[in-house]
Structure 1
Amino acid sequence: MGGAIGFNRKDPINHAIRINFNWAFWEILMVSILVVDDEMQFLELTRMFLEKGRGISVYTATSGDMALEMLKERRYDAIISDYAMPGMNGIEFMKRVRAMGDDTPFVIFTGRGREDVVIDALNFGADLYVEKGADPGSQFSEILSRIKQLVTNRTFSHDEKIQCERCFTLLKNYPGMAYCRPIEPGDWMLYASEGTSDLTGHSPSALVTGGNVRYRDIIHPADRTRVERERGEQSGREGRFRLEYRIITAAGVEKAVVEEGRAVRGEDGIPTMICGFIRAA
């Protein structure tokens, strides 16, 4: 078992991985956003906010024409454009983008009280419109939240088998260990990605059911009790958990790691397994 696990619609591990790793794809992928505005100050403010520790690369253009040339060179995961720009406004720019067959998630910035612009934006293919206001921090937070949703939905917009294949491709290339494990800390992993070998020195197959290594035994003896206690406490809550501790690799090397994960719950709301990531600190 490991990164090469096959797709099976009825396999609960497949289902858990496909559904419950979606929260982490934003962190696995380096997301690229094209921001178009004729005001340099706004462009820099947008770049500073979106790039700050979020795994995002922001590319900027000061006009629709400049942005169209950039779109000929590469695709972006999302586009943010001001409406009021000289020459080509944001709606006209969006029309040109859509005419190219580009369905990239598109956000339009509008002035206050421009209902006509809002209607046009939605009619011509905008995914989101935001009114410029006095509180850029809250605006950018709203935009970031919606863009995450739009990009994730676009990544997983195809049929179930393609979703699963994309999921495992991303996990295969993750620079660390992606895993699914039972709630009970002493049990073997249900799934371990190919990055397990680089992180721990053990093959993925050694750590899953039927293997010869339990992950708990890799945790540094001085950290083991604390980690199992904290993981149990945190995984019982809603949302993600984060742990920092040390492991001992197969070569006997001590290594600091960070683990992030969340509980997978059954229809009754009771946690049935944990899915997460472990990477070098």
Structure 2
Amino acid sequence: MSPYTVLFVDDSDFMTQHVSETLESEHGYDVETVTTAAEARSAFESTAFDCVIASYELVDESGIELAASLQDLADELPFVLFTGNPLEPLVEEAQDAGVTAFVSKSDHATGDMNVFANRIRLSIEAVN
């Protein structure tokens, strides 16, 4: 089985490197990284992704706004919101925008990231 291809959208160099390297080396994902919502939409022109992971706070818009805009480009695309913010105030708006899962930066972006990788896999398998 070929690995899943995910798009990771975050403007932090450290976070981008850590997450992409861990998901690739420890969990077998193919990870493409971009730093803005605009770059994420452009990436869809050349690559088919199984899932998008985006930070809540992007330089050009929120991850929730990105999720809403991608619904038009890719029907039933799993979208994982990656945030350090409290989740409760974001849940309803995020789900309305097409966010399918949430991952806390503080709890799940360290070590081997088993919970993070599992959340991605389950999000992808739920639509396939």
TM-score, length-scaled by structure 2: 0.88
**Cα distance in 2 for residues equivalent to 1:46 and 1:36:** 11
* 1:135, distance to aligned residue in structure 2 (A): 5.6
Identity %: 25
Q: 2: CA distance between counterparts of 1:114 and 1:144?
A: 19
Give, in angstroms, the shift of residue 114 of structure 1.
4.5
Amino acid at match of 2:15: F
Partner of 2:50: 77
After superposing the two structures, state which structure 1 stretch, 50-59 or 127-136, moved more.
Answer: 127-136
Q: CA deviation at 1:120?
A: 1.2
1:115 equivalent to 2:88? Answer: yes
The reply on whether 1:94 has 2:67 as its aligned counterpart is yes
Q: Comparing both chains, which one has the higher relative contact order based on Cα–Cα distances under 8 Å and sequence gaps of 6 or more?
A: 2
Match of 2:25 among 44, 47, 52: 52
| Residue 48 (structure 1) shift | 1.3
Please, which of 79, 87, 99 is the counterpart of residue 126 of structure 1?
99
Structure 2, unpaired ranges of 5+: none
Cα RMSD of the aligned pairs, angstroms, is 1.9
- Equivalent positions of 1:239-278 (< 5 A) are none
Q: Distance in 2 between matches of 1:73 and 1:129?
A: 26
Cα pair distance change 1:103/1:74, threshold 3 Å = same
Structure-2 change in CA distance of 1:101 and 1:134 (3 Å): closer
Q: Which residue of 2 aligns with 1:67?
A: 40
1:30 alignment partner in structure 2 = 3
Deviation at 1:40, TM superposition (A): 1.3
Question: Does the CA contact (< 8 Å) of 2:11 and 2:58 recur in 1?
Answer: yes
What is the correspondence of 1:153-232 to structure 2 with a 5 Å cutoff? Answer: 153-155=126-128
Task: Classify 1:135/1:53 alpha carbon distance in 2 versus 1 (closer, same or farther; 3 Å).
Answer: closer
d(CA) in 2 for partners of 1:57, 1:98: 22
Q: Decide which structure has greater strand share.
A: 1
Contact 1:37/1:81 (8 A) holds in 2 = yes
Number of residue pairs the alignment of both structures matches: 128
Say which one has the larger Rg: 1
Residues 54 and 142 of structure 1, relative CA distance in 2, 3 Å threshold? closer
